[in-house]
Chain A
Amino acid sequence: MRALAPLVLAAAVLAPGLTRAELENEVKAAYLYRFLSYLEWPPPDLDGDGSPFVIGVVGADDVYEALREIVQGRSAQGRAIEVRRLKEGDDTLGVHMVFVGRAAAGSLGKMASRKAIVVGEVEGALERGAAINLVRTADHVRFEVAPQVAERKGVRISSRMLSVAARVETGAP
Chain B
Amino acid sequence: MKFPRFLRRSVSRKITALVVLSTLAALTVSAAGLIYYSASDYRATKLADVRTQAAVVGRAAAPALAFSDPKDAEQDLLTLAERPDVLHAMLYDAEGKLFAFYARAGYTEPVPQRLDEFSLGIHGERLTLATPIIEDGQRLGTLVIDARYGQRARLLAYTLILGGVTLGALLASLLVSSWLQRAVVEPILGVAAAARGVIERRDLSVRARKTTDDEIGILADAMNSMLADLEREMAERLAAEDALRTADRRKDEFLATLAHELRNPLAPIRNALYILRMEGADAAALSEARAIIDRQVLQMVRLVDDLLEVSRITTGKLRLRRERVELRKVASAALEAVEPIIRERGHTLVVTLPPPGLTIEADPTRLSQVFLNLLNNAAKFTPQGGRIEFALEVRNGEIAARVRDDGVGIAPDMIEPIFEMFAQADRSLERTTMGLGVGLSLSRRLMELHGGTIEARSDGANRGAEFVARMPAAGAEMSIHSIETATRLPAAEGNGRPSVLVVDDNEDFAITFARMLRARGYEVRVEHDGLAGLTAAQSSPPDVAFLDIGMPKLNGYELARHLRALPATSHAILIAVTGWGQDEDRARTEQAGFDGHLVKPIDPGALLSLLASLSKTPPTPAA
**B70 closest partner in A (C-beta):** A8
Q: Which of B60, B69, B95, B135 contacts A37 (CB 8 A)?
A: B135
> Chain B interface: which of A91-99, A108-116, A117-125, A156-164?
A156-164
Chain A residues near B59 (CB, 8 Å)?
160
Residue-wise, chain A 115-157 has the 8 Å CB interface mask toward B (1 for contact) of 0000000000000000000000000111100000000000000
Choice from A76, A140, A158, A161 contacting B68 with Cβ under 8 Å: A140
Q: Roughly how many angstroms separate A157 CA and B95 CA in the complex, as a whole number?
A: 27
- Which residues of chain A have C-beta atoms less than 8 A from B135's C-beta? 37
Q: How far is the CA of A10 from the CA of B180 in the complex (A)?
A: 84
Q: Which residues of B are found within 8 Å of A160, using beta-carbon distances?
A: 59-60, 62-63
Decide if A8 touches B68 in the complex (CB within 8 Å).
Answer: yes
B63 touches A7 (CB 8 A): no
Contact across chains for A4 and B94 when beta carbons are under 8 A apart: yes
Task: Please give the distance in Å from A71's CB to the nearest CB on chain B.
Answer: 12
Pairwise interchain contact B137-A34, C-beta atoms closer than 8 A: no
| Residue B67 CB within 8 A of the other chain | yes
Contact B94 A164 (CB under 8 A): no
How far apart are the CA atoms of A145 and B72 in the complex, in Å?
Answer: 16
The CA-CA distance from A69 to B112 in the complex, in Å, is: 32
- Cα A36 to Cα B136 with chains together (Å): 9
Residue interface bits B120-164, CB-to-A below 8 A is 1, else 0:
000000000000000111100000000000000000000000000
- Docked Cα-Cα span, A141 to B432, in Å, equals 160
- In the assembled complex, the Cα of A143 lies from the Cα of B69 at a distance in Å of 11
Greatest chain A CB density within 10 A among B59, B66, B67, B135 is at: B67
A164 and B136 form a contact (CB under 8 A): no
CA distance A121 to B269 in the complex (A): 179
As a 0/1 sequence over residues 63 to 100 of chain B, the CB contacts with chain A under 8 angstroms (1 = contact) are 11011110010000000000000000000001100000
Q: Are A164 and B63 in contact (CB under 8 A)?
A: yes
Interface code B246-289, partner A: CB below 8 Å = 1, 0 otherwise? 00000000000000000000000000000000000000000000
B441 to A: closest C-beta gap in Å: 133
Docked pose: A37 CA to B94 CA in angstroms:
17
A141 to chain B, nearest CB (A): 8
Does chain B have a CB within 8 A of A75? yes
State which of A8, A34, A142 has its C-beta within 8 Å of the C-beta of B66.
Answer: A34
Q: Are A164 and B60 in contact (CB under 8 A)?
A: no
CB proximity of B30 to chain A, nearest CB, Å: 49
Residues of A within 8 A of B60 (CB): 160, 163
Residues of B within 8 Å of A78, CB to CB, are 137
Given contacts A75-B137, A77-B136, A164-B72, contact A34 B67 (CB under 8 A): yes
A164 close to B137 (CB less than 8 A): no
Distance in Å from the Cβ of A60 to the closest Cβ of chain B? Answer: 19
Q: How far is the CB of A67 from chain B (nearest CB, A)?
A: 15
A76 CA to B138 CA, complexed, in Å:
9
- For residue A6, which residue of chain B has the nearest CB? B95
Q: A160-B60, A164-B72 are in contact. Are A7 and B67 (CB under 8 A)?
A: yes
* Chain A residues, CB < 8 A from B63: 38, 158, 160-161, 163-164
Verify B136–A31 contact, CB threshold 8 A.
no
Q: Please, which residues of chain B bring their CB within 8 A of the CB of A34?
A: 66-67
Interface set, chain A 1-22, CB cutoff 8 A to B: 4, 6-8
Most chain B beta carbons < 10 A, residue from A8, A74, A163: A163
Q: How far is the CA of A42 from the CA of B435 in the complex (A)?
A: 153
Cβ of A37: which chain B residues have Cβ within 8 Å of it?
A: 66, 135-136, 138
Q: Which residues of A contact B68 (CB under 8 A)?
A: 7-8, 27, 140-141
Inter-chain CA distance A75–B67, complex, in Å, is: 17
Q: B62 — which chain A residues lie within 8 A by C-beta? A: 160
CB distance from A21 to the nearest CB of B (A): 18
Per the bound structure, the CA–CA distance linking A136 and B95 in Å amounts to 23
A163:B72 contact, CB within 8 angstroms: yes
Contact with A along B359-388 (1 / 0, CB 8 A): 000000000000000000000000000000
Q: Tell me which residues across on chain A come within 8 A of B72, comparing CB atoms.
A: 163-164
- What's the nearest-Cβ distance from chain A to residue B515, in Å? 169
A4 to B66, CA, bound (A): 11
CB distance from B286 to the nearest CB of A (A): 171
Known: A34-B67, A164-B69, A164-B72. Is A76-B94 also a contact (CB below 8 A)?
no
- Are A76 and B67 in contact, with the CB atoms below 8 A? no
Which residue of B has the minimal Cβ distance to A166? Answer: B69
What does the 1/0 interface line of B484-497 toward A look like (CB < 8 Å)? 00000000000000
What CA separation (Å) do A34 and B94 show in the bound complex?
14
**Residue in chain A with minimal CB distance to B71:** A164
A27 to B63, CA, bound (A): 15
Whole-angstrom distance from the CB of A47 to the nearest CB of chain B? 18
Q: Which chain A residues lie closer than 8 Å to B69 at the CB level?
A: 142, 164
A27 to B94, CA, bound (A): 15
Instruction: Tell me how far the C-beta of A1 lies from the nearest C-beta in chain B, rounded to whole angstroms.
Output: 11
The answer for the CA separation of A4 and B141 in the assembled complex, in Å, is 12
Cα A37 to Cα B136 in complex, Å, equals 6
Closest to A9 in B: B68
Min CB–CB distance A35 → chain B (angstroms): 9
For residue B63, give the distance in angstroms from its CB to the closest CB of chain A. 5
A33 vs chain B, min Cβ distance (A): 9
Residues of A contacting B136 in the complex (Cβ-Cβ under 8 angstroms)? 36-37, 76-77
26 A-B pairs (CB sep. < 8 Å): A4-B94, A7-B67, A7-B68, A8-B68, A27-B68, A31-B67, A34-B67, A36-B136, A37-B66, A37-B135, A37-B136, A37-B138, A74-B138, A75-B137, A141-B68, A142-B69, A160-B59, A160-B60, A160-B62, A160-B63, A161-B67, A163-B60, A163-B64, A164-B66, A164-B69, A164-B72
- Please list the residues of chain A having a beta carbon within 8 angstroms of any beta carbon in chain B: 4, 6-8, 27, 31, 34, 36-38, 74-78, 140-143, 158, 160-161, 163-164
Known: A76-B136, A163-B60, A164-B63. 19 other contacts (CB 8 A): A4-B94, A6-B95, A8-B68, A34-B67, A37-B138, A77-B136, A78-B137, A140-B68, A141-B68, A142-B67, A143-B67, A160-B62, A160-B63, A161-B63, A161-B67, A163-B64, A163-B72, A164-B64, A164-B66
